[in-house]
Amino acid sequence: MFGNQNMQQMMKQVKQMQANVESEQAQIADTDYVGHAPADAVVATFTGDRILKDLQFAEGVVDADDPDTLADMMIAAVNDALKQIDADSSKRLGQYMPNMPF
């Protein structure tokens, strides 16, 4: 069906694409993504492989009488960082695998 030369060329291209994807995945994993809550009340830092690395609180944001606000700020910062990871992954890996969710 395919000529031997065409199949060899196609396999070579697939291997190159796989190497490129692995390289991009490694770069994403090695990148820090920093999410911010409004006014930087909470700042969350994740690695590209979604490991929470650091969580910082602005002075005065921790109020024992208002834990709900702190929880909301933490959620906002975490979600911001995770959205950055998703966007960067889509940008970097989407060129090799369009229409694939990352």
pLDDT in tens, 9-29: 889 888 999 999 999 999 999
Query: Could you state, in order of their start, the residue ranges of all structural domains in the chain?
Result: 4-92
- In tens, the pLDDT along 49-87 reads 999 999 999 998 999 999 999 999 999 999 999 999 999
Nearest to 78 by CA among 40, 37, 47: 37
Q: Edge-to-edge, what's the strand order for the sheet holding 32-36?
A: 32-36, 42-47, 52-57
**Residue 79: CB atoms within 10 Å:** 13
Cβ-based neighbours of 72, under 8 Å, separated by 6 or more: 37
Question: In terms of pTM, does the model score above 0.95?
Answer: no
Question: Angle, to 10 degrees, between the axis of helix 4-29 and the axis of helix 67-94?
Answer: 160
Measured distance CA(91)–CA(80) in Å, rounded? 17
Answer yes or no: is pLDDT of 101 > 70.
no
Domain 4-92 has CATH 3.40.50.720: no
